[in-house]
Amino acid sequence: MSITGFDLSFRHLCSPCIPPRFDFSSQSRRKIEYGCSFTAIRPVFCSMSSSSTAVSDSDENHVSTSYSRRLMTFMITFLLPLPKLMQHSGANANATDDLALIQGEIRKVLSKSKAAGVLRLVFHDAGTYELDDASGGMNGSISFELDRPENKGLKKSLKILVEAKTIVDEKQPVSMADMIAVAGAEAVSLCGGPTIPVRLGRLDSMVPDPEGKLPEETLDAFGLKQSFQRKGFSTQELVALSGAHTLGSKGFGNPVVFDNAYYKVLLEKPWLSSAGMTSMVGLPSDRALVEDDECLRWISKYADDQDLFFEDFMNAYIKLVNSGAKWRRD
């Protein structure tokens, strides 16, 4: 094996027929500027001929000095990357610790009954993103937008996250965007959904996002698909993200259980029944999905396979909370 021109097998130091012999002289012990002591090994060279000859003192000193320099070069070249590796490892450890800290404080204030509101907070903060002008997105600007009609009822959800953020900030400052992104993932997990990894490092916006960027609840399937396409999401991702409505009081199964009941209920179309309150199931936009052939294919897949829904929701969620985010430079 050779690194920076140095043969680690030491075979170049001696005749192939005669094993190398090393003199571990105490005079050759040196210290290298890495806080550790290394011994510079001084080889006694063998003759390449069948009759061995003595090496002169001057030649030996020259070889020893040359060898020591080569060893020093090797050690420095080999060790230089270590500080970067250590820093990278330390950065990963810090990110893991920060995430654990945020998750711990969120879990103290989050309950299953509050999960739907917290998850809705994620959609309303990130859902303002537009590809064309790269505006909006996951940036914590929802803090400035709570008085908008589409954000009615979100003040309570934001309040519990502000409470958790206050505690986190005492140990490690965190953006509101990161708090919301992590909280949504925790809400899903708490209610039995998939565990969603969330990257940290988002920066908060200091101004509200433009108005009128969230998909309206009255849109038909064509309008929904167009709206999500402008945000960079496919029809499949639209249907997967819509499954978040399985939580809450929309009428899709157990309001505090994250499962694929949303899709099963959509296929049943209970709003067509004449039995009173069943007409209140879901939003107009939910009902519109099942009337579109492309959306219907994914609704049927998720109704049949909850694991597939969980996987696709996780991937779409990660994409959602990264949409439009501005990242801290470490």
* Cα 297 to Cα 290: distance, rounded to the nearest angstrom: 9
Considering 12, 62, 88, 124, which one is annotated as catalytic? Answer: 124
* Cα 124 to Cα 216: distance, rounded to the nearest angstrom: 11
Q: Has 245 been annotated as catalytic?
A: no
Burial class (CB in 10 A: 0-12, 13-18, 19+), 221: buried
* Cβ(134)–Cβ(324) below 8 Å: yes
User: 285-319 burial string, b = 16+ CB within 10 Å, else e?
Assistant: bbbbbbebeebbebbebbbeebeebbebbbebbbb
User: Six-digit token pair at 117?
Assistant: 């509101």
* Cα 114 to Cα 188: distance, rounded to the nearest angstrom: 11
User: Six-digit token pair at 236?
Assistant: 């499949």
Residues 6+ apart with CB under 8 A from 257: 191, 192, 246, 247
User: Six-digit token pair at 319?
Assistant: 């994409």
Residues annotated as catalytic are 124
